[in-house]
Chain A
Amino acid sequence: MKAIVANTLIDGEVVYWNAGVWVTRFGQAQLFAEDEVAESALAKANQPTSVVDCYVIDVAEEEDGYAPTAYRERIKALGPQNHPQHGKQADGGHDIDLIKQAHGIARSAGRHALIKLKK
């Protein structure tokens, strides 16, 4: 699965694409089963006046839902691990718990996609 992540231009907050709007939680992100669909959504999502650093990430199926595959993307979805009260993790919720518990199958694909995009 894939999702699209970015930071908002005006304040840098991490946001996820969902069918034409940006949402603030990974749990609300649109998931794409096919790479091509994600790539064509990216072209629409990458709006230079509202977001920066916009790219497709890999998403893995966990026991009870989905979480970003790469460790880096999980931190981006949660917040810094040294300050549990900072970032999106502070809000708690099922999607946050799920990302916190995700482990074991991490791959750097999110990062690689980022590098590819910048070519």
Chain B
Amino acid sequence: MYRYDYIDRAFVEDRAAEFRGQVARRLAGEITEDQFKPLRLMNGLYLQLHAYMLRVSIPYGTLTPNQLRKLAWIARTYDKGYGHFTTRQNIQFHWIKLKDVPDILGHLADVEMHALQTSGNCIRNVTSDPRAGASADEIEDPRIWSEIIRQWAAIHPEFSFLPRKFKIAVTATAHDRTAARLHDIGLLMRKGRDGGVGFEVIVGGGMGRTPYVGPTIRDVLPAEHLLSYLEAVLRVYNRHGRRDNIYKARIKILVAQLGAEEFARQVEAEWAQIDHPAIDAPQAEVDRVRAAFAPPAFEAVTGRSDAFEAAKAASSSLARFARNNVHLHKQPGYAIVDISLKAPGETPGDATAEQMELVADLAERFSLGELRVTHEQNLVLPHVKLDDVAAVHAALAGAGLASANINLVSDIIACPGLDYCALANARAIPIAQDIALRFAAADQAENIGELKIKISGCINACGHHHVGHIGILGVDKKGEEFYQLSLGGSAAEDAEVGKILGPAIPADKVTDAVDHLVGVYLRERHAGERFIDTYRRVGLVPFKEAVYAEAH
């Protein structure tokens, strides 16, 4: 994977030192909170309900074992022994003290990490496919271009004060695991007619108060012109995006108001006058980054592992884990292993320091030193030999990390919600815990099959409720928590915003409502249909009738 060069290192160390000075001046009373707040936000430091929260950037969700060990150490030393992986492939620490932050940033810099651009109206962490470099059907490792974007976007002087935050996702397979169409810019890698690599460019997707599935503004952009084209998109947005109204400031509003065609025309006009060679990454730099993502040293092994087959035959729990958490790898004899951070009853996305250390060890021993974070708040060991899957499973089971529920009903995305977040209207975590416990029986969950439940504690939609097969949005009704359900959303290549089912329901009715929705699906489904397929065929009405039957 990519390692910092001297420029990256000097820059990150410089910024950590700069923030140390800023914190000292704030504590000494030399600058006011109004002056300090934008500075701390630029360093990923928020104030939440109970403490400060530090959001650490994990570029395109890729981590080394040593980086994860450092995160575990920070969790144990400066937090309460755990961290929370987010829907932006980052990690948040929820119990941080301002006085410790300069030291923490120094420790992060030691392992080539930082918290820059995890807040504020700038280009945020670039997200990518957690299976990058391991998927059989990817055109090229999407992290190459994610890293090139990261370097371009890091303290980009023109785009550090945009009208609003800006999120870019890059994916290189037909199946989209990044929610690309729900990003400010989604880049889907495509093979051009000439055989070269290019991108379908999607602009103006997003969730939040006004959700949009982004339109495509260019079918194939040659990859070598990616940065100049992104520069053109950002310039049009920076010029015309609204700064007078925070609710209308995202690029999705601009694209919707201008129309995709007119927006694309303005981008092309801007692009035509940009000095491309001055902006686009030079070939030598592309080659350098590409080399950093060269495939690891896979062993030449056969595609079938007798040891794995025998272990599966002997253990139903391993067989279940293999069915749900183990996925096809491009290299014969290897597998991609998903580690669920969704044990029923636990907080979605949370990992203790001990769990992080165990996963770091497993990555080192069994995954060629690679680790990933998914936007669905799970972890991935991307390169595990089939021969080793049983050992990995056993080690995970010993740490409460072997839940075989990837993509099932209990693999729920939930934002921190009102338990932590200063913006939330309602709790998200206890709702997720309650639903997951209701469906904790593994056979039942497998029978239900793929079902993506996503929960947000407010309209900002960090929990991606708009694109849940079942979406759950917490709302505040006169100080009490209520939840609005929506159905039919999708974050995948068939992206869609869900439709609201009906009036919001109280917290203690949500799990029953989900139970009713699942009941309708089981009753109505045709062979081979997932929940979302049945919903698309039969529509909202039978689901609505089931949930609101008692009200009539």
Contacts and interface: CB of A to CB of B under 8 A. Distances in A.
B479 interface: yes
Interface residues of B, number: 33
Interface string B403-439: 0000000000000001110101001011001000000
A86 B47 contact: no
Interface stretch (B95-103, B215-223, B543-551): B95-103
Contacts of A71: 418, 479-481
A13 interface: yes
Interface string A38-62: 0000000000110011000000000
B433 A82 contact: yes
B50 A12 contact: yes
A11 B418 contact: no
B512 to A, nearest CB: 20
A9 B26 contact: yes
A108 B29 contact: no
B32 interface: yes
B44 to A, nearest CB: 14
Interface in B472-510: 476, 478-481
Given A76-B49, A81-B427, A82-B430, A11 B97 contact: yes
Chain B contact residues: helix, strand, loop or mixed: mixed
A80 B420 contact: yes
A75 B47 contact: no
Nearest to B414: A82
Contacts of A49: 27, 29
Contacts of B479: 69-72, 106-109
Nearest to A70: B479
Contacts of B152: none
Contact of A48 (B29, B47, B50, B95): B29
Nearest to A87: B50
A86 B347 CA distance: 14
Interface string A76-95: 10011111001100000000
Contacts, number: 83
A10 B50 contact: no
Given A82-B347, A86-B80, A106-B478, A10 B419 contact: no
B163 to A, nearest CB: 20
Contacts of B418: 71-72, 75
Given A48-B33, A86-B95, A13 B51 contact: yes
A79 B480 CA distance: 17
A12 B419 contact: no
B47 A52 contact: yes
A53 B479 CA distance: 20
A14 interface: yes
B73 interface: no
Contact of B480 (A82, A106, A109, A111): A106
Interface residues of A, number: 29
A82 B420 CA distance: 10
A72 B476 CA distance: 10
A18 interface: no
B50 A80 contact: yes
B293 interface: no
Interface in B228-283: none
Given A11-B97, A106-B479, A48 B32 contact: yes
B99 A11 contact: yes
A87 B480 CA distance: 22
Contacts of B26: 9
A52 B33 contact: yes
Contacts of A70: 479
B52 interface: yes
Between B33, B98, B424, B479, the greatest number of chain A beta carbons within 10 A of the residue's beta carbon is seen for: B479
A81 B429 contact: yes
Contacts of B47: 7, 12, 52-53
A69 B476 CA distance: 14
A71 B481 CA distance: 8
Given A71-B418, A82-B419, A9 B430 contact: no
A81 B418 CA distance: 9
Contacts of B427: 75, 81
Interface in A3-20: 7, 9-14
Contacts of B429: 80-82
A14 B99 contact: no
Interface string B66-95: 000000000000001000000000000011
17 contacts: A9-B33, A11-B97, A14-B49, A14-B50, A49-B29, A52-B47, A71-B418, A71-B480, A72-B424, A75-B419, A83-B80, A86-B50, A86-B95, A87-B50, A106-B478, A107-B479, A108-B479
Interface of B: 26-27, 29, 32-33, 47-52, 80, 94-99, 347, 418-420, 422, 424, 427, 429-430, 433, 476, 478-481
Interface of A: 7, 9-14, 48-49, 52-53, 69-72, 75-76, 79-83, 86-87, 106-109, 111
Given A13-B51, A52-B47, A82-B419, 12 more contacts: A12-B50, A48-B29, A48-B33, A69-B479, A72-B49, A72-B418, A72-B424, A75-B49, A75-B427, A81-B427, A106-B479, A107-B479
Q: Which 10 interchain pairs have the tightest Cβ spacing? A: A106-B479, A11-B97, A80-B419, A12-B51, A49-B29, A12-B52, A108-B479, A107-B479, A82-B429, A82-B347
